[in-house]
Amino acid sequence: MKKGQLLYEGKAKKLYATDEEQVIWAEYLDQATALNGARKDEIKGKGELNNQITSEIFLYLSDKGIENHFIEKLSKTEQLIKKVEVIPLEVVVRNLAAGSFSKRLGITEGTVLPEPILEFYYKEDALDDPFINEAHIAFLKIAAPEEIRLIKEAAEKVNQELIRLFQQIGLELVDFKIEFGRQADGTILLADEISPDTCRLWEKESGASMDKDNYRKQLGDLVPVYREVLQRLTKISV
Ligand code: TMP
């Protein structure tokens, strides 16, 4: 497989074409952002940790029957993925109150939600990724009602499997964000990344944040925390 021209440069990765039309070459960068990109820092080693963690998680989800865009890990910082047209939605699933949910609704962080709560955000930097509902999604023609039904079903399955996965390594899955895309034939596929950048993970014993909140809240260095998550994941996947 040959790496082709740069197609996209995002906050945390670069995407390149390949000599196969439906395959993309993704490179994870040593970059962290917060506040929708207003704060940005280079963090050495983050790219390779997220590439490896995301690869482990997508392989695990494939094994559990959840189709996704991951093809194979190429190197410490690179992976091959299936080409999709990204649907501009951030799909957030919450098991415990935290972050913007706690702030918006005045609910103490750590409150256990009786049922997982699914939320949609419109991925549009110029609008600061606003919180939207299904009527907004239909009005903006972001996705068809049937696509939304499939996305919600997949998000619930991902939540159940990730809760189980992280439980096995002593971590509580507080919430996470996933994204979906359309393949050339129109079918919906789980895409983007799943890593401590996109999940809130609390260590069960200590309650410590094992995720990007260390950067968002300036609690400490991300790299040792992400390394610990990767080490725990690779131990159980052997
Ligand atoms: P929030 O509490 O800030 O809304 O975040 C909910 C979850 O979604 C949390 O695990 C972090 C993740 N997330 C992203 O991955 N990207 C984003 O742009 C935002 C706002 C949240």
Give residue 175 CA to ligand 1 midpoint distance, Å.
8
Residue 21, exposed/middle/buried by CB under 10 A (0-12, 13-18, 19+)?
A: exposed
Q: How far is the C-alpha of 156 from the C-alpha of 21, rounded, in Å?
A: 31
The strand pairing partners of 207, in sequence order, are none
Q: How far is the C-alpha of 160 from the C-alpha of 146, rounded, in Å?
A: 22
The reply to whether 227 falls in a domain is no
pLDDT of residue 237: 67
Count up the domains in the chain and report the number: 2
39 and 13 together in one domain: yes
Give residue 168 CA to ligand 1 midpoint distance, Å.
23
The preferred substitution site among 111, 198, 222 for testing ligand 1, maximizing ligand atoms within 8 Å of CB, is 198
Owning domain of residue 9: 3-82
pLDDT of residue 88: 98
176 in contact with ligand 1, CB cutoff 6 A: yes
pLDDT of residue 38: 87
Q: Which value, in Å, is the radius of gyration of the alpha carbons in the chain? A: 17
The reply to whether 230 falls in a domain is no
Low-confidence ranges of the chain (pLDDT < 70): 237-238
105 and 204 together in one domain: yes
206 and 113 together in one domain: yes
200 in contact with ligand 1, CB cutoff 6 A: yes
- Indicate the SS3 state at residue 98: coil
Q: For the domain that residue 198 is a member of, what is the CATH number?
A: 3.30.470.20
